[in-house]
Chains A and B, each alone.
Chain A
Amino acid sequence: MRHINVLILSTFMLFSLVAYAQHDTHEHEPETTHEDTSAHDHLQIPEHAEDIHGAAHEEKAFNASEMIMHHVLDNHDWHITDIPSGKDAQGHTTYTPIALRLPWIFYSSRDGFVFSSTHDLDAKNYLVYHDHVYALKAGAVRPHADAHGAIHLEKEEWEAYKAENVDASVTLLDFSITKTSFQILIIAALMLWVFLSIARSYKKNTGAPKGTASLFEPIIVFVRDEIAKPYLGDKAMRFTPYLLTLFFFIWFSNLLGLTPLNSNIAGNISITAALALLTFIIINVNGSKDYWVHIFANPGVPPALRYSLMLIVEVVGVFTKPFALMIRLFANISAGHFMVLSLVSILFILGKGGKSIGGALGAMPISLLFTFGIYFLEFVVAIIQAYIFTLLTAVFVGMAMESHDHEHAHEHAHAEGDHH
């Protein structure tokens, strides 16, 4: 056991040493102005890292919060890494990005539906800046771009450019398959593959489950018996498919978000908002008569309060439940990713972006151990958050469906607290 621990630890040390060594090479560059961007390149910031910073000619030290934001936010290309490809005229190391360019698909009131690569957008007189697409006026001058196509403008410069050259009358609706939506498709494909193969194996095999089916059967039964049945009673089977879909979608997306080369989609508030919206619809479509009476004419309070204060409280309550679901999942998953990325950043902050090897060596054990700890905690959080989202959905739907002659269920609803 001890040997395994040592092995794992040294492997991680080796990785960060390799990472650090690559980083260190920039130190010997004749000019240090590009130091910052090299640090970013190295941490898998794409070639347009400078365009996130705004200005390339005013480089600062390694900026952890920008690195973290870049990793967490959605993007139009699936960036994997950069490989050094040689030196340019000034002796700077140049990088070739390895990235999957996702297409731009948007509706423009000027050209109708546009389906295009980033490169071809130039010919159609559109400009991509900070991962947003802008329609340019006819004959507009394009801003100067570097070898990677990144545009370096100060905020004021960009505002001035925008006022002069961007055609504000063109409406653009962006439907592009971004990193996040591509990740959804991957998860959907994975879930279809897993669950169709389970369904097939049950069709063929009437005995004990085998293979994938035996791996997932306990979890499926857990969702049905521990989440759906206690809160939804005899209507449980109607909602089990939805609950199972929620549970596995959130769990799979969290797990994939923790593996390299994937993006974490539950850390994107639009995804959790969509999931919460589905729950919101299901709660309100299945609301019983008592549920609506309780909201608009709560029989438990005097009439003066019933139609004034309680009405507001109850109506707000209808929206806070899915809103809390949305915030909870989003904040939990983003917090984990922020933590991991911040702890990795310690290495680069104390290493002074390649200038202080001692600082980096000192930071390495802290950075490694904490990252390791948080990372494994995140695997637990992945399944707990899937469980809680599913459980609360079942609880809320159950509360909305109950009729108030059902004594036990009523007590339960009161125990939940946040709504009566």
Chain B
Amino acid sequence: METIGIMGAGIGAGLAVIGAGLGIGRLAASSVESIARQPEAAGDIRGAMILTAAFIEGVALLAEVVCLLIVFTK
């Protein structure tokens, strides 16, 4: 059972990374597009991008911490 638990933590970490990767990827893609379309707004767009990236990353890290806890408290 313990081994399955650890495997679950590994799979969970991978899924969290996929989610965060998709989220940040889409965010970056549309930010770069907007900057290309409106270079004069680059500063504002970059600010909003970093802020949103931090939110996405926060959720992903929460999942990663849960996975770490599973491994350490097995």
Contact = CB atoms under 8 A, between A and B. Distances in A.
| B contacts with A: majority SS | helix
Interface in A346-405: 387-388, 391-392, 395
B51 A332 contact: no
A331 interface: yes
Nearest to A227: B47
Interface string B37-74: 00000000001101110110110011011000000000
A328 B51 contact: no
A174 B61 CA distance: 30
Contacts of A416: 51, 55
Interface string A407-420: 00000000111100
Contact of A418 (B47, B50, B55): B55
A335 interface: yes
A264 to B, nearest CB: 16
Contacts of B54: 328, 388, 391-392
B2 to A, nearest CB: 15
A331 B65 contact: yes
Chain A residues touching B, majority SS: helix
Nearest to B64: A331
Contacts of B47: 226, 230
Interface residues of B, number: 13
Interface in A295-324: 324
A391 B58 CA distance: 14
Given A324-B58, A327-B58, A328-B58, A395 B51 contact: yes
Contacts of A392: 51, 54
A242 to B, nearest CB: 19
Nearest to A329: B61
A332 B61 contact: yes
Contacts of B65: 327, 330-331
Contacts of B52: 417
Interface string A218-252: 00000000100010000000000000000000000
Given A230-B47, A335-B61, A416-B55, 12 more contacts: A327-B65, A328-B58, A328-B61, A330-B65, A331-B64, A335-B64, A387-B50, A388-B50, A388-B54, A392-B54, A395-B51, A415-B48
Task: Identify the 4 closest CB pairs spanning chains A and B, nearest first.
Answer: A331-B61, A324-B58, A388-B54, A328-B58
25 contacts: A226-B47, A324-B55, A324-B62, A327-B61, A327-B62, A327-B65, A328-B54, A328-B57, A331-B61, A331-B62, A331-B64, A331-B65, A332-B57, A332-B61, A335-B61, A387-B50, A388-B50, A391-B50, A391-B51, A391-B54, A392-B51, A392-B54, A416-B51, A417-B52, A417-B55
